[in-house]
């Protein structure tokens, strides 16, 4: 949430591209200077630069120089950097415009209320779960919960509270009165607002979401089972505290694997829709279905990372192949993506804006 939250406070966030582990390996193994290029590393390098350029700013920092390696000191990498700079020099004159209709809400305060050790949800939510969500073909902004009252909520059809386990009375009031409105879908991802910093308990999160829950003991790692789409995920350890959904007015979406207990459900209200999860949501297809049902635009039905901002689209694909990309203006693009590739397009016309980095190294005689 740091990039969008920085912008809300009138600041520009800059990232640093200083990851050269693949380049380090290639450099050590290289027989000749020009053979340090790695076709697997090149698309990772571009993705890691183009994405922050679309959201704010970035610079390259070459730690390899201290080892006389020069991680990016390669003709192909340098040409790629030149191409990226030429594109984004033009973007300096294009007003920034978020094209997201999903809002991910993150909490820093919640970490003060968790065990000071690894738990089944600590890395799952902030690494695994969100990575799967970001490959759903939808586009989202990320903010901290203390900035929720500063964003233009009108553009978002879905708001996902990723790890907001602690919410103040003021934040709860704002969520009920401003966020849970206009037919929006709110996704409460595991015991959202279960504490206000003074007390803790299910009544606090029940009042926030309007969904009835019951505590339940768990003695073995839980399995999250969705039927539409068919999907299962087993946590690496017992998630606790653990609750199940007992609300007769809520539509079951997922159950505890092998049992009938409901752990994800959807409940409709006159002003909004609530999706409550008593286990963190996992599964790219699951996120895609939840967000599509919320009315969010799905650009890409395949599990590529797809991001759009200010008229530019980035598609990062591992397996490649045929793709149908649906633009916001209704235009469909039929593309063939290479494996391990980045495709940078004009989000309105589909024009290719950056040529693909070569997969084979041009040998020097």
Local confidence pLDDT in tens for the 365 residues of the chain: 667 878 888 888 888 988 765 555 554 444 444 346 778 888 888 999 999 999 888 998 887 766 666 778 778 888 889 999 999 999 988 888 899 999 999 999 998 888 888 889 988 998 899 999 999 999 999 999 999 999 999 999 999 999 999 999 999 999 999 999 999 999 999 999 999 999 999 999 999 999 999 999 999 999 999 999 999 999 999 999 999 999 999 999 999 987 899 999 999 999 999 999 999 999 999 999 999 999 999 999 999 999 999 999 999 999 999 999 999 999 999 999 999 999 999 999 999 999 888 776 655 54
Tokens 């386990």 correspond to 165
The alpha-carbon radius of gyration of the chain (Å, integer) is 22
CA 204 to the chain's CA centroid: 27
For 265-312, how does the pLDDT look when each residue is reduced to its tens digit (9 = 90+)? 999 999 999 999 999 999 999 999 999 999 999 999 999 999 999 999
Look at residue 361 in the predicted model and tell me its pLDDT. 63
Q: At what angle do helices 41-55 and 75-91 cross, to 10 degrees?
A: 20
- Give the model confidence (pLDDT) of 135-151 as tens digits: 999 999 999 999 999 99
Q: Are residues 46 and 80 in contact, defined by beta-carbon separation less than 8 angstroms?
A: yes
What does the block give as tokens for 45? 């390098």
- Whole-number pLDDT of residue 363: 55
What is the structure's pLDDT at 31? 40
SS3 assignment, position 61: coil
DSSP-derived 3-state class of residue 353? strand
- Contact of 191 with 241, CB cutoff 8 Å: yes
Q: How many residues does the chain have?
A: 365
* φ, ψ for residue 326, nearest 5 deg: -105, 110
Provide φ and ψ at 303, rounded to 5°: -85, 45
pTM over 0.85: yes
In the chain the domains, ranked by start, together with CATH numbers, are: 2-91 (no CATH), 102-293 (3.40.50.880), 305-354 (no CATH)
Q: What integer pLDDT is reported at residue 365 of this predicted model?
A: 47
């Amino acid at each position: 949430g740091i990039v969008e939250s920085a912008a809300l406070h009138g600041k520009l966030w800059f990232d640093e591209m200083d990851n050269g582990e693949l380049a380090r390996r290639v450099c050590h193994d290289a027989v000749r200077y020009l053979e340090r290029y790695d076709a697997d590393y090149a698309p990772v390098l571009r993705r890691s630069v183009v994405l922050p350029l679309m959201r704010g700013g970035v610079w390259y920092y070459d730690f390899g120089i201290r080892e006389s390696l020069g991680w990016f000191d390669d003709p192909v990498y340098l040409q790629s950097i030149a191409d990226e700079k030429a594109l984004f020099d033009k973007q300096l004159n294009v007003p920034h415009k978020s094209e997201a209709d999903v809002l991910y809400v993150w909490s820093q305060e919640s970490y003060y209320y968790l065990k000071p050790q690894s738990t089944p949800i600590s890395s799952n939510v902030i690494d695994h779960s969100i990575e799967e969500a970001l490959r759903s073909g939808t586009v989202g902004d990320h903010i901290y919960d203390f900035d929720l009252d500063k964003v233009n909520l009108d553009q978002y059809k879905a708001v996902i509270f990723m790890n907001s386990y602690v919410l103040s009375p003021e934040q709860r009031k704002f969520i009920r009165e401003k966020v849970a409105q206009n037919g929006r879908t709110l996704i409460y991802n595991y015991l959202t607002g279960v504490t206000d910093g003074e007390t803790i308990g299910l009544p606090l999160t029940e009042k926030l979401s309007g969904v009835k829950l019951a505590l339940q003991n768990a003695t073995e790692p839980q399995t999250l089972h969705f039927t539409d789409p068919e999907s299962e995920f087993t946590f690496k350890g017992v998630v606790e505290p653990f609750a199940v959904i007992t609300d007769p007015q809520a539509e079951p979406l997922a159950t505890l694997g092998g049992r009938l207990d409901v752990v994800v459900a959807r409940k409709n209200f006159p002003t909004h829709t609530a999706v409550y999860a008593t286990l963190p949501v996992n599964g790219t297809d699951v996120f895609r279905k939840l967000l599509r049902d919320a009315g969010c635009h799905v650009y890409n039905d395949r599990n590529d990372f797809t991001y759009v901002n200010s008229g530019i689209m980035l598609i990062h694909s591992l397996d490649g192949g045929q793709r149908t990309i649906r633009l916001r203006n209704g235009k469909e693009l039929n593309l063939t993506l290479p494996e391990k590739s980045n495709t940078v397009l004009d989000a309105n016309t589909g024009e290719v804006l950056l040529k693909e980095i070569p997969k084979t190294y041009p040998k020097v005689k």
